[in-house]
Structure 1
Amino acid sequence: MAQQGIPLLPMVVLAMLSQCSAWLTPRISFPQGSPGRPLVRFHRPGVSNTTMLLLSRDGDTLFVGARDAVLSLDVSQKEAIGIRSKLDWSPSEKDLQQCSMKGKEMTDCPNFIRVLQFLNTTHMYACGTYAFSPRCTYMLTETLLMASQSSRPEEGRGRCPYDPYQRSTAITVDGELYTATVADYRGNRPVISRHLSPVDLKLDDTLGWLEDPTFISSSFIPSEEKIYFFFSEVGREYDFIDKFIVSRVAQICTSDVGGQRTLQRRWTTFAKAQLLCQASSELPYNVVQDIIDLPPPEGAPADDTLFYGIFTSQWSVNSGQSAVCAFRLGDIKAAFSRNYKVLNRDTLRWSTRVQEKIANPGECGLHNASDNTLRFVKDNFLADDSVQPVGRSLTMVSHDQKYSHLVAQRVRAANHRDYTILFLLTDSGYLHKAVLLEKGAHIIEEVQVFQQHQAIVSMQLSVSKGVVFVGSSEGVVRVPVASCSVYSSCAQCVLARDPFCGWAPERTACVEVSPVPASLGQDVDAGNVEEVCSTAPLSPRARFGPNSLTTGETLSVSLNQVVRLQCPGASRHAQRLWERPDSRISPDLCLHMEDGGLRFVATPATLGQYLCLSTELGHRQVLAVYNVEQRTPAPAPPAAAAANATTARAHAHPAPTPTPTAWTTAPPGGPGLATTTGAKVRGEVKRHAAGAAVPSGAPEPRPPTGAGGVAPSGWPRDVGSKDGGRLPLALRPSYLRELVAVSTLLALCLSALLAVALGAVRQRCRKRTAPQAADGGAEREALRGEPPAGADGQRANGRGARGGRPHSATPKAANGHLPNTPL
Structure 2
Amino acid sequence: MRAAAAAACWLWGALLAAGRSPPRLRLPYRELLSTNRSVLFFGLRGPLGFRCLYLDEYRDRLFIGGKDVLYSLRLDRPGAAAEEIYWPPAPGQTEECVRKGKDAATECANFVRLLHPYNRTHLLACGTGAFRPLCAFVRVGHRGEHAFGLEGAESGRGRCPHEPSGAFASAVAGGQLYAGLAADFLGRQPLVFRSAGARPALRTETDPRLLSEPEFVAAYPIPDSDDRDDDKVYFFFTEKVSEADGEERAVVSRVARVCVNDAGGQRVLVNKWSTFSKARLVCAVPGPRGVDTRFDALEDVFLLRTKDGKSPEVFGLFSTVSHVFRGSAVCVYRMADIREVFNGPFAHRDSPLHQWAAYEGRVPYPRPGVCPSKTTNQPRRHYSTTKDYPDDVLRFARAHPLMYKPVYPRHRQPLLVKTNLQYHLRQLVVDRVEAEDGQYDVLFLGTDAGSVLKVVPLQKANSAATEEVVLEELQVFEAPVPITQMEISVKRQTLYVGSSLGVAQVRLHQCETYGTACAECCLARDPYCAWDGTACAHYQPAGKRRHRRQDVRHGNPMHQCPDQNLTVDDFEHVEEKVLYGAEHNSTFLECAPRSPQASVQWFVQRRPDEQRDEVKTDERVVQTERGLLFRQLRRRDAGVYYCRTLERGFARAAARTALEVSSLCWSKILGSRECRLKRSMICRANAKALCMGSSSYSSGLRSADPAGRSLPWWMRHR
Which TM-score band (shorter chain)? Answer: 0.7 to 0.9
Residue 418 (structure 1) aligned to one of 424, 430, 439: 439
Structure 2 residue corresponding to 1:429, chosen from 438, 447, 450: 450
Q: 1:284 to 1:19 in 2, by over 3 A?
A: closer
Structure 2 residue 239 is the aligned partner of structure 1 residue 233: yes
Query: In structure 2, how many angstroms separate the alpha carbons of the residues matched to 1:714 and 1:70?
Result: 60
Shift of 1:246: 0.5
Aligned to 1:267, what secondary structure does the other structure show?
coil
Offset at 1:120? Answer: 0.9
Tell me which of the two structures has the higher relative contact order, counting C-alpha pairs closer than 8 angstroms and 6 or more residues apart.
Answer: 2
Structure 2: stretches of 5+ with no match in the other structure? 142-146, 226-230, 377-385, 460-465, 605-610, 684-688, 704-718
Amino acid at match of 2:468: A
In the alignment, does 2:151 pair up with 1:147? yes
Which of the numbers 573, 586, 601 marks the counterpart of 1:577? 601
Matched, 1:250 2:256: yes
1:40-189 equivalences under 5 Å are 40-47=39-46, 48-58=48-58, 60-77=60-77, 80=79, 82-83=81-82, 85-107=83-105, 108-142=107-141, 143-148=147-152, 153-189=153-189
| Contact 2:331/2:409 (8 A) holds in 1 | yes
Q: Is the 8 A contact 1:165 1:456 kept in 2?
A: no
Q: Sort the Cα spacing of 1:712 and 1:427 in 2 relative to 1 into closer, same or farther, 3 A.
A: closer
Structure 1 residues 453 and 602 mapped into 2: Cα distance closer, same or farther (>3 Å)?
closer
- The alpha-carbon distance between structure 1 residues 12 and 110, as it changes in their structure 2 partners (threshold 3 A), is farther
Summarize the Cα distance change of 1:15–1:590 in structure 2 as closer, same or farther, 3 Å threshold: closer
Separation (CA, whole Å) in 2 of partners of 1:423 and 1:458? 12
Distance 1:105 1:712 in 2: 59
User: Which secondary structure state, in structure 2, belongs to the residue aligned with residue 612 of structure 1?
Assistant: strand
Pairing 1:393-792 to 2, within 5 Å after superposition: 393-398=413-418, 399-400=420-421, 401-415=423-437, 417-438=438-459, 439-454=466-481, 457-489=484-516, 490-505=518-533, 508-519=534-545, 520-535=548-563, 549-555=571-577, 564-580=588-604, 581-587=611-617, 591-599=621-629, 606-626=637-657, 705-706=668-669, 722-724=690-692
Answering whether residue 304 of structure 2 is matched by residue 294 of structure 1, we say yes
Distance 1:13 1:434, change over 3 A: closer
Query: What displacement does 1:590 show?
Result: 7.3
Change in 2 beyond 3 A, CA 1:509/1:135: same
Structure 1: which amino acid aligns with 2:148? L
Q: 1:386 to 1:733 in 2, by over 3 A?
A: farther
2:392 aligns to what? 372
Greater C-alpha Rg? 1
Contact 1:214–1:231 (Cα < 8 Å) also in 2: yes
| CA-CA distance at 1:71 after TM superposition | 1.4
Distance 1:623 1:119, change over 3 A: same
- Which residue type is aligned with residue 706 of structure 1? I
Q: In the aligned structure 2, how far is the partner of 1:247 from the partner of 1:714?
A: 68
Instruction: Quote the offset at 1:576 in angstroms.
Output: 1.0
Task: Tell me the residue number matched to 1:208.
Answer: 209
Contact between 1:168 and 1:181, CA under 8 Å: does it hold in 2? Answer: yes
Aligned to 2:608: none
Cα deviation for residue 433 of structure 1 reads 0.8
How far apart, in 1, do the equivalents of 2:428 and 2:73 lie?
22
Deviations 1:148-178 (A, max 9, x none): 4xxxx22211111111111111111121111
Q: Distance in 2 between matches of 1:57 and 1:704?
A: 74
Q: How far is the alpha carbon of 1:714 from its aligned partner?
A: 12
Match of 1:21?
A: 17
* Contact 1:215–1:231 under 8 Å retained in 2: yes
Match of 1:697 in 2: none
Structure 2 partner of 1:327: 333
Q: SS of the counterpart of 2:519?
A: helix
**Given that residues 51 and 456 in structure 1 are in contact (C-alpha distance below 8 angstroms), is that contact kept between their aligned partners in structure 2?**
no
- Distance across 2 between alignment mates of 1:86 and 1:324: 37
Structure 1 CA distance, aligned partners of 2:201 and 2:37?
47
* Cα deviation 1:432-461 (Å, max 9, x = unaligned): 111121142211111112233546722111
The yes-or-no answer on 1:266 pairing with 2:262 is: no
3-state secondary structure, aligned to 2:572: coil
CA distance in 2, matches of 1:704, 1:617: 52
Cα deviation, residue 348, structure 1:
8.7
Q: What is the alpha-carbon distance in structure 1 between the residues aligned to residue 206 and residue 192 of structure 2? A: 10
CA distance in structure 2 between the partners assigned to 1:245 and 1:340 by the alignment: 21
> C-alpha distance in 1, partners of 2:192/2:619?
71
Describe the SS at the equivalent of 2:523. helix
Distance 2:404 2:588 in 1: 65
Compute the displacement of 1:487 (Å).
2.3
Match in the other structure for 1:217: 218
The whole-number CA distance in structure 1 between the counterparts of 2:454 and 2:94 is 42
Q: Which amino acid aligns with 1:146?
A: L
Equivalent position of 2:607 in the other structure: none
- Report the CA distance between 1:388 and its aligned residue: 1.1
State the partner residue of 2:317. Answer: 310
On the 8 A contact 1:290/1:405 being kept in 2, the answer is yes
The reply on whether 1:276 has 2:282 as its aligned counterpart is yes
Q: Which one of the candidate residues 388, 396, 404 is aligned to 1:384?
A: 404
Given that residues 59 and 76 in structure 1 are in contact (C-alpha distance below 8 angstroms), is that contact kept between their aligned partners in structure 2?
no
Aligned twin of 1:33:
30
Distance 2:616 2:80 in 1: 55
Aligned residues of 2:258 and 2:275 also touching (Cα < 8 A) = yes
CA 1:112–1:596: 2 relative to 1, 3 Å: closer
Q: Percent identity?
A: 29
User: In structure 2, do the counterparts of structure 1 residues 345 and 716 end up closer, same or farther at CA, with 3 Å as the change threshold?
Assistant: closer
Shift of 1:101: 2.1
TM-score after normalising by structure 1: 0.71
- Tell me the distance in 2 between the aligned counterparts of 1:563 and 1:101: 61
SS at match of 1:550: helix
RMSD: 3.7
| Structure 1 unaligned spans of 5+ | 1-6, 632-687, 690-701, 736-823
Distance in 2 between the 1:160 and 1:576 partners? 54
Q: C-alpha separation between the residues in 1 aligned to 2:369 and 2:223?
A: 16
Q: What is the SS of the residue equivalent to 1:317?
A: coil
Matches of 1:200 and 1:710, distance apart in 2: 86
Give the letter aligned to residue 75 of structure 1: L
Asked if 2 retains the 8 angstrom alpha-carbon contact of 1:168 and 1:180, the reply is yes
2:51–2:66 Cα contact (<8 Å) kept:
yes
Task: Give distance in 2, aligned partners of 1:469 and 1:591.
Answer: 45
Structure 1 position 477, deviation (Å): 0.8
Given residue 291 of structure 1, which amino acid in structure 2 is its aligned partner?
A: V
TM-score, length-scaled by structure 2: 0.81
Task: Kindly provide the amino acid, as one letter, of the partner of residue 129 in structure 2.
Answer: Y
Aligned residue for 2:543, secondary structure, equals: coil
1:812 matched to which residue of 2?
none
Alignment length (residue pairs)? 644
CA gap of 1:191–1:483, structure 2 versus 1, over 3 A, is same
Distance change >3 Å, CA 487–CA 606, structure 1 → 2: same
Amino acid at match of 2:113: R
Q: 1:25 to 1:210 in 2, by over 3 A?
A: same
Give secondary structure in 1 for the equivalent of 2:85: strand
Superposed displacement of residue 621, structure 1: 2.5
Structure 1 contact 24–397 (Cα < 8 Å) conserved: no
1:496/1:37 CA distance change after superposition, 3 Å: farther
Question: Distance between the aligned counterparts of 1:602 and 1:347, measured in 2?
Answer: 73
Q: Which has the larger helix fraction?
A: 1
